Structure 1
Amino acid sequence: MASTVPVPVISSAHLGLSISGGNRHECISSSSLTSMSPSPQHLLTAFGGIIAIPLILSQGLCLQHDGLTQGHLISTIFFVSGVCTLLQVTFGIRLPIVQGGTFAFLAPSMAMLSMPEWTCPAWTQNASLVNTTSPEYIDVWQSRMRELQGSIMVGSLFQVLVGFSGLIGFFMRFIGPLTIAPTISLIGLSLYDSAGMSAGNHWGISTMTTALIILFSQYLRHIPVPFPTYNKTKKLHTSRIYIFQLLPVLLGITLSWLICYIFTISNVLPSDPEKYGYLARTDLKGDVISQAPWFRFPYPGQWGLPTVSLAGLIGILAGVLSSMIESVGDYHACARLSGAPPPPKHAINRGIGIEGIGCLLAGAWGTGNGTTSYSENVGALGITKVGSRMVIVAGGVLMIIMGLFCKIGAIFTTIPTPVIGGMFLVMFGVISAAGVSNLQYADMNSSRNVFIFGFSMFSGLVIPNWIFKNPDAIATGVVELDQLLQVLLTTSMFIGGFFGFFLDNTIPGTLRERGIMDWNKIPLDDSSNTLESSEVYNLPFGISSYLSSFSWVRYVPFLPPNAPSSQDEAMVDSLATKQQPVKPEVIRSVAL
């Protein structure tokens, strides 16, 4: 086995199943990138993160008691995630990686929505006073959504610029583990209030959900379950699938949901809205499914013309930068697990640029969020051994179809609130820990590094908490500046990331001590295999071959500098028709 060095995988601002970013080592292999093995697991692993984002945003958008609109938001984010997945796999990084919503945008979004001018009116907190069809109520939530849309759309242009201009490589010179660790960790820690509010509606149900997810993901993950399968070679036979390792969150939610249903029909849960445990009932939003149309086509501007503010834009930019750096790590991990050579610079630039376009689409369509690469999907590659590009394409098409059928989104809104809270307890906890895991590259025996990380983390908790309790403390006399400072100083990930970045780049320290040397190392195995690299990363439909005849292509950061000759392409085609065994690679993976 050729020697390798770990690829930096900053994980996850979004979590549904598994996260890359730990120190557990496993040897795995995957199927050929060009194989056609169908597998729905990649889509299922993204469910937890995708449905969680609209449910969290609904609190800031004043939609707690509007299940129908929540269903529309879930359908919209499914639709946009499917479109962005197709764009990324076809024209972006061209690796089998799923695109979906990002938790990195949630912190600045919730900070903006907590500003005095965007605080939800008191009457929207009372279900009996909310008329979801009244023009007044519609304007309340749509005005907030339009403000989010505009900030996301303008902020995404920065990501498009950074990606297609090749600036991401420049940024990576200054951003290391001591910047990323507090940034990612504070994404999870800043959401503790949402988790507590949801779980606190019935701690018994939420604890059961958490316990089931832990049981499936940690204790039963290595236990295979036999399933009947069929293929042309073996006909009908039994396959052993690690279902608990693949779908712990989905299984935990489903089982808890079923138990809540049994408790509802047997009247174990109270029917009085004033009593504890009422929100654990499954019949509270039953009319949402009947009210939701069977088919609805999401379209840009469906909530009105987007607006933008400087405060919201600057906050979103912090999330954009965090999401970009995370995706670079996911690209390298995905390449290793799918048996592809390390992604060249032009592919990484193109991938980041396409993600920026995806965020632009998400903002235009009105998901209230952006898109990013899903590290849950990267972890699923190691479990399913299916690294096929076409599998992800099929998953993207399926997400688009799910987004068109509103009944599906409406079903997800009926999940009892305590069940969602139990899922949040696990998801946000793992996100926080995944951020800390990036410190494995830095020398944590160094008092310098301990100070930088500790100070950044503590500041990211203290400053936003104080500003929330003293909202009138910021009074510069300029309204726009007050709003900007309010959003930035209440965004934990910005505070922690800023201090980590500033201190790490100003306090003297060696590159090895800071973790920059290990952080920027890339596996060299097969990196010189230009034929295989061209097959994987060059643009499809003969675009790369056509453009290679122009001399100016070499100066475009997101285009391959040259394409193989027709004879070389024939050799690549011949190579692609064979199942190439993948060398076992030592990777980092934490299965949730």
Structure 2
Amino acid sequence: MKSTNTSKSVFDFYGKPSFLKALPLSLQHILAMIMGTVTVPIIVIGTVDGSLAEKMALIQIALVASALSTLLQLYTIGKLGAKLPAIFGVGFAYVPTLTAIGAQYGLSGILGAQLIGGIVMMIVGLFIKRIRYLFPPVVAGTVVLVIGLSLYDIAVNYMAGGVGSPNLGSMENWAVSLVTLLVVLLVSQFATGFLKLASIICGIGAGYLLSMYFGMVDFSPVGAAPWFSTPTFLEYGLEFHAAAIISMVIICVINSVQTIGDLSATTVGGMDRELSDKELFGGLLGNGLCTATSSLFGGLPTSSYSQNVGIVAMTKVISRYVLALAAIFMLIAGFIPKFGAIMTTIPFPVLGGATIIVFGMITMTGVQLITKDEMSSRNVTIVSLSLALSMGIYAVPDSIAQLPDVLNLVIGGSPIVVATFISFTLNLLLPKKTLADEEHERRQTEIQMNEA
């Protein structure tokens, strides 16, 4: 229910706290998402062998796309947007598909397939009310659980210095990441009031200072970044290739299921209630529109950010004003690249130390969702098999090396795809039996055995 306009509570979606109180809470969300937002276009440009100018342009468009997609979800336009405290932006889940398409068809091939994928995402949103029963808590919760588990290696790699770092696993990297984590833990568990809510920004601040002492902070990106930049319509063109479109449509549909999980985790973990059909409908429709529209300007597909869902679940801060400040900062950074470049100076160990506890919160939110259904033998089978196969294949990617390229492309890059497919399929195929039904079966079996 909508609160009064005078609310200043950070625990009220419509609350508008003072700017000074909201700013550090917003920075937590910015710092949690910034590296992912800028890393995806860097990876894609490397795949298509793009120029430095193209790399900088795609980073700026990614920041703008992330900001606008988040603002749409917070404030909505008509039926577009969930009106929930959720951060959206260029998503990591797409990376394997984007790089595979880019290597074969270039950036224009990616953007053409993305346009179709975004439209399909909107179609899923249009029909979600009719098919939502296919995604009960045991399915959505399993997806969220796997999202959390699949993020652990990212956090640990960050803590150790980042993949490809020449000093990966050094004592300095671990010292910085562990100090960051320790400060987050101490502040979140022992501080009170506003300071407790800002535990992540406190940890990042402490880790950043220590990393400066070790000489780990590089300010050269700030000097190299231009002062002003604007997106250009159809600068990179659009090409449509069947194989690219099929791959992109599949990952966009899978991402829609991830969005269901993330939005469910937001309402359950941050607002102590279930996700409504209206919120889900608007969230998927808005994300599909942003994904399709971004392709026209060179922006990559958008997705809900699970790490920010974890922050909401951890702090219970749901004021859209707080999250909107984060989006506005990203928008400014998109047009004034030097602002965004400042955020990229934060070393990976600092981000890893600050986010690993957040990823753990996502995992526990998934557990909360799963246990909203009865833990019958049927549901335990769905969860356990989904976890075993998805995380097993993720740990041993060579196990699917002989599959057709399209399947390898979709399955190998993300355990979320495997977990979604298995949990969804088993939920359809396995007989729907409650704990009471299973107990009755056991008694009947025991009677039959005694009679025999």
Alignment partner of 1:282 is 2:217: yes
SS in 2 for 1:101: strand
Alignment partner of 1:181 is 2:128: no
Kindly tell me: are residues 322 and 207 of structure 1, through their superposed partners in 2, closer, same or farther at Cα, counting changes over 3 Å?
same
Q: Is the contact between residue 54 and residue 74 of structure 1 (CA under 8 Å) also seen in structure 2?
A: yes
CA distance in 2, matches of 1:461, 1:453: 12
Q: Is the contact between residue 332 and residue 339 of structure 2 (CA under 8 Å) also seen in structure 1?
A: no
Kindly tell me: are residues 435 and 502 of structure 1, through their superposed partners in 2, closer, same or farther at Cα, counting changes over 3 Å?
same
Pick from 493, 496, 502 the counterpart of residue 419 of structure 2.
Answer: 496
Pick from 142, 146, 161 the counterpart of residue 123 of structure 2.
Answer: 161
CA distance in 1, matches of 2:212, 2:194: 27
CA distance in 2, matches of 1:34, 1:421: 30
CA distance in 2, matches of 1:51, 1:323: 19
Kindly tell me: are residues 259 and 402 of structure 1, through their superposed partners in 2, closer, same or farther at Cα, counting changes over 3 Å?
same
Q: Counterpart in 2 of 1:33?
A: 14
Q: Counterpart in 1 of 2:27?
A: 44
Q: CA deviation at 1:407?
A: 0.7
CA distance in 2, matches of 1:440, 1:375: 19
CA distance in 2, matches of 1:422, 1:174: 37
1:238-267: CA deviation from partner (whole Å, max 9, x where unpaired): xxx52343351x333332232222222xxx
Unmatched runs of 5 consecutive residues or more in structure 2: 1-8, 161-167, 438-452
Alignment partner of 1:110 is 2:40: no
Q: CA deviation at 1:173?
A: 0.6
Pick from 324, 330, 334 the counterpart of residue 399 of structure 1.
Answer: 330
Q: Counterpart in 2 of 1:451?
A: 381
1:300-325: CA deviation from partner (whole Å, max 9, x where unpaired): 44555465502233123211222134
Give the partner amino acid of 1:359: T
Q: Counterpart in 2 of 1:375?
A: 309
TM-score by length of 1: 0.59
Alignment partner of 1:442 is 2:404: no
Kindly tell me: are residues 262 and 67 of structure 1, through their superposed partners in 2, closer, same or farther at Cα, counting changes over 3 Å?
farther
Kindly tell me: are residues 408 and 68 of structure 1, through their superposed partners in 2, closer, same or farther at Cα, counting changes over 3 Å?
farther
Alignment partner of 1:291 is 2:291: no
CA distance in 2, matches of 1:31, 1:53: 28
Q: Counterpart in 2 of 1:13?
A: none
1:165-197: CA deviation from partner (whole Å, max 9, x where unpaired): 3x2222221112332233223334445554454
CA distance in 2, matches of 1:42, 1:258: 19
Pick from 340, 343, 361 the counterpart of residue 412 of structure 1.
Answer: 343
Alignment partner of 1:100 is 2:88: yes
Pick from 37, 46, 52 the counterpart of residue 62 of structure 1.
Answer: 46
Kindly tell me: are residues 98 and 431 of structure 1, through their superposed partners in 2, closer, same or farther at Cα, counting changes over 3 Å?
closer
Q: CA deviation at 1:449?
A: 2.4
Q: CA deviation at 1:199?
A: 3.8
**Alignment RMSD, CA only?**
4.0
Q: Counterpart in 2 of 1:83?
A: 68
Q: Counterpart in 1 of 2:195?
A: 243
Alignment of 1:460-499 (within 5 A): 460-468=390-398, 471=401, 473-474=402-403, 482-490=404-412, 491-499=414-422
Alignment of 1:514-553 (within 5 A): none
Alignment partner of 1:322 is 2:258: yes
Give the partner amino acid of 2:96: M
Q: Counterpart in 2 of 1:219?
A: 186
Q: Which has the higher helix share?
A: 2
CA distance in 2, matches of 1:435, 1:282: 35
Q: Is the contact between residue 289 and residue 410 of structure 1 (CA under 8 Å) also seen in structure 2?
A: yes
Give the partner amino acid of 1:207: W
CA distance in 1, matches of 2:285, 2:322: 23
Give the partner amino acid of 2:288: G
Kindly tell me: are residues 213 and 486 of structure 1, through their superposed partners in 2, closer, same or farther at Cα, counting changes over 3 Å?
same
1:103-162: CA deviation from partner (whole Å, max 9, x where unpaired): xx42342255368x839xxxxxxxxxxxxxxxxxxxxxxx65544444433222123223
Alignment partner of 1:357 is 2:272: no
Unmatched runs of 5 consecutive residues or more in structure 1: 1-27, 120-142, 226-240, 265-280, 475-481, 515-592
CA distance in 2, matches of 1:501, 1:458: 15
With 145-154 and 374-383 compared, the bigger mean Cα shift is at 374-383
CA distance in 2, matches of 1:505, 1:324: 18
CA distance in 2, matches of 1:65, 1:304: 14
Kindly tell me: are residues 42 and 459 of structure 1, through their superposed partners in 2, closer, same or farther at Cα, counting changes over 3 Å?
same
TM-score by length of 2: 0.74
1:40-88: CA deviation from partner (whole Å, max 9, x where unpaired): 3553232133213135433465389999876655543332232223333
Q: Is the contact between residue 128 and residue 281 of structure 2 (CA under 8 Å) also seen in structure 1?
A: yes
Q: Is the contact between residue 222 and residue 342 of structure 2 (CA under 8 Å) also seen in structure 1?
A: yes
CA distance in 2, matches of 1:192, 1:392: 24
Kindly tell me: are residues 160 and 209 of structure 1, through their superposed partners in 2, closer, same or farther at Cα, counting changes over 3 Å?
farther
Q: Is the contact between residue 75 and residue 403 of structure 1 (CA under 8 Å) also seen in structure 2?
A: yes
Q: Counterpart in 1 of 2:4?
A: none
1:515-562: CA deviation from partner (whole Å, max 9, x where unpaired): xxxxxxxxxxxxxxxxxxxxxxxxxxxxxxxxxxxxxxxxxxxxxxxx
Give the partner amino acid of 2:418: I
Kindly tell me: are residues 68 and 436 of structure 1, through their superposed partners in 2, closer, same or farther at Cα, counting changes over 3 Å?
farther
Kindly tell me: are residues 419 and 366 of structure 1, through their superposed partners in 2, closer, same or farther at Cα, counting changes over 3 Å?
farther
Q: Percent identity?
A: 20
Q: CA deviation at 1:293?
A: 0.5
Q: Counterpart in 1 of 2:36?
A: 53
CA distance in 2, matches of 1:95, 1:114: 34
Q: Is the contact between residue 32 and residue 351 of structure 2 (CA under 8 Å) also seen in structure 1?
A: no
Q: Is the contact between residue 63 and residue 331 of structure 2 (CA under 8 Å) also seen in structure 1?
A: yes
Structure possessing the higher relative contact order (Cα contacts under 8 Å, 6 or more residues apart): 1
1:312-350: CA deviation from partner (whole Å, max 9, x where unpaired): 33123211222134325536777779xxxx987556533
Pick from 202, 205, 211 the counterpart of residue 254 of structure 1.
Answer: 205
Give the partner amino acid of 2:212: Y
